Amino acid sequence: MAVGATAEDAVARAAGGDIDVVLMNLRFGTGMSGAEATAAITARPHAPRVLIVTTYDSDADTLPAIEAGATGYLLKDAPPEDLAAAVRTAAAGRTTLAPTVADRLMNRLRDPVTALTRRETEVLTLVAEGLSNQAIGRRLHLTEGTVKSHLARISTKLGVDSRTAAVATATDLGFIRR
């Protein structure tokens, strides 16, 4: 068993081979995030499986990690026997999800109209940071018109009529972090 203090350590150790399953946190302070590290690890041929073990269970946390290639996602308050079973399941190449995460993903699939796309989440996160449409466009390499289109779809999906309400609602729903 190898332990890394940062996401970069985890990527380096996983690249060394001889590891079947990486237990990954999502937030390390500065530097690479757990989702970024997961993507770096799983992009390599014959990569180990990555099992996220964290306290964060919002869509803003779970979706990037799963999209990055995580095999499973557990919360740190899971009983030890569930963690051991999840490691065995990940080593076998199968998926394990915390019940709350699985429920949220199922609800997103059942009601995709209210789910934000990755780009919509990026736009709304930048709105929450106080950026103008023009600044968001520059940051994401989009036209200002495209940013406005994303904001219109976000408002429709969330049933709101302002940028402030969109940020508040998305935060309450766990789509973005503030």
Same domain, 15 and 72: yes
- Contacts for 132 with CB less than 8 Å, ≥ 6 apart: none
- SS3 letters for the chain? CCCCCCHHHHHHHHHCCCCCEEEECCCCCCCCCHHHHHHHHHCCCCCCEEEEEECCCCHHHHHHHHHCCCCEEEECCCCHHHHHHHHHHHHCCCCEECHHHHHHHHHHHHCCCCCCCHHHHHHHHHHHCCCCHHHHHHHHCCCHHHHHHHHHHHHHHHCCCCHHHHHHHHHHHCCCCC
Contact in structure between 167 and 131 (CB atoms under 8 Å): no
| Residue 27's pLDDT band (cuts 50, 70, 90) | confident
Order of strands, sheet of 72-75, starting from the edge strand that comes earlier in the sequence: 21-24, 49-54, 72-75, 96-97
pLDDT at 18 over 70: yes
Same domain, 102 and 135: no
pLDDT at 104 over 80: no
Same domain, 11 and 85: yes
Same domain, 83 and 131: no
- Domain for residue 153, yes or no? yes
Same domain, 102 and 140: no
- Domain for residue 122, yes or no? yes
Domains held by the chain: number? 2
Mean pLDDT (whole number) for 41-60:
87
Provide the percentage of residues in the chain whose pLDDT is more than 90.
43
- Domain for residue 1, yes or no? no
pLDDT score recorded for residue 112: 60
147/175 Cα distance (integer angstroms): 18
Distances (CA, A) of 102 to 89, 97, 105, 109, 124: 16, 6, 5, 11, 24
pLDDT score recorded for residue 2: 59
- Nearest CA to 117 among 32, 33, 39, 176? 176
pLDDT score recorded for residue 114: 66
Same domain, 33 and 101: yes
Same domain, 87 and 122: no
Distances (CA, A) of 32 to 15, 25, 28, 94: 16, 11, 7, 26
Q: What global pTM score does this model have?
A: 0.66
74/97 Cα distance (integer angstroms): 6
Same domain, 15 and 90: yes
| Domain region containing 43 | 7-110
